Structure 1
Amino acid sequence: MRFTFKCYATKHPEQTVIFTLLLSIFLLAYQLRIYEVPYFRMIGLKDFEQFESAVWLVVITMGTVGFGDIVPVTIFGRMITMVASLWGAFIFTLVLISFGSRFNLSTKQKQAMHQLVSQHKAARLIISAYRLYKLKRSKEGMGSNKSVLSESDKGISSLMRRLKEMAKDFKDERPKRRRVKNSKSQLI
Structure 2
Amino acid sequence: MDLLFSREDEAEKDIKAINKKIYIVDFFAMVLGLLGTGLALYEHELYFEFATDCVYFASGILHFEGNDCLHPEPDKNLHIRGAITAMTSGLLVIIFYRYILSLKLEKVKRNLDFLDTLISSKLYIPLLCELIFCAIHVPPRVNYGFEIEQYEGKMVYTINMLIGLIMLGRIYLMWRFFIHSSDWNSYKSDAICKSCNCDGGVNFAIKAELKERPYTIVAGTMVISILVFGIALRNVERPFQEVAPTHDWNYMWNGMWCIIITMATVGYGDFYATTHFGRVISVIACFWGTFLISLMVLSLTISSEFTPQESKSFNKIKKDEAEQEVRVKAANAIKFGIRLKIFLRKFPNASEKKRSKVINKFKSALIEFRTYSMKLKASEQDAPIELVLSRLNDKVTYVLDKIKNDCYVYKSINTKLEASENNQKLISNAIDELVKLNDLVINKIRR
Is the TM value for this pair above 0.5?
A: yes
Aligned to 2:379: 173
Instruction: Tell me which moved more, 23-32 or 53-62.
Output: 23-32
TM-score by length of 2: 0.37
Aligned to 1:81: 282
Structure exhibiting the larger radius of gyration computed from Cα positions: 2
Residues 12-91 of structure 1: matches in 2 within 5 Å? Answer: 12-43=213-244, 47-91=248-292
The answer on whether the counterparts of 2:326 and 2:369 sit within 8 Å (CA) in structure 1 is no
Aligned to 2:355: 149
The answer on whether the counterparts of 1:60 and 1:67 sit within 8 Å (CA) in structure 2 is yes
Structure 1's unaligned 5+ residue stretches are: none
Residue identity matched to 1:118 = A
Q: 1:173 to 1:13 in 2, by over 3 A?
A: same
Higher relative contact order (CA 8 A, sep 6+): 1
CA distance in 1, matches of 2:340, 2:250: 84
The answer on whether the counterparts of 1:47 and 1:53 sit within 8 Å (CA) in structure 2 is yes
Structure (1 or 2) with the greater helix fraction: 1
- Superposed CA offset, 1:19-57 (max 9, x none): 111121112112212321222245456622221111000
Aligned to 1:137: 341
Structure 2's unaligned 5+ residue stretches are: 1-201, 399-447
CA distance in 2, matches of 1:164, 1:107: 27
Q: 1:111 to 1:10 in 2, by over 3 A?
A: same
TM-score by length of 1: 0.79
Superposed displacement of residue 132, structure 1? 4.0
CA distance in 2, matches of 1:158, 1:46: 69
Q: 1:8 to 1:46 in 2, by over 3 A?
A: same
2:313 aligned with 1:112, yes or no?
Answer: no
- Identical residues among aligned pairs (%): 22
CA distance in 2, matches of 1:139, 1:98: 61
CA distance in 2, matches of 1:134, 1:74: 83
Across the aligned residues of Structure 1 and Structure 2, the Cα RMSD in angstroms comes to: 3.1
2:328 aligned with 1:127, yes or no?
Answer: no
Equivalent pairs, count: 185
Residue identity matched to 2:284 = V
SS in 1 for 2:274: coil
Q: 1:113 to 1:103 in 2, by over 3 A?
A: farther
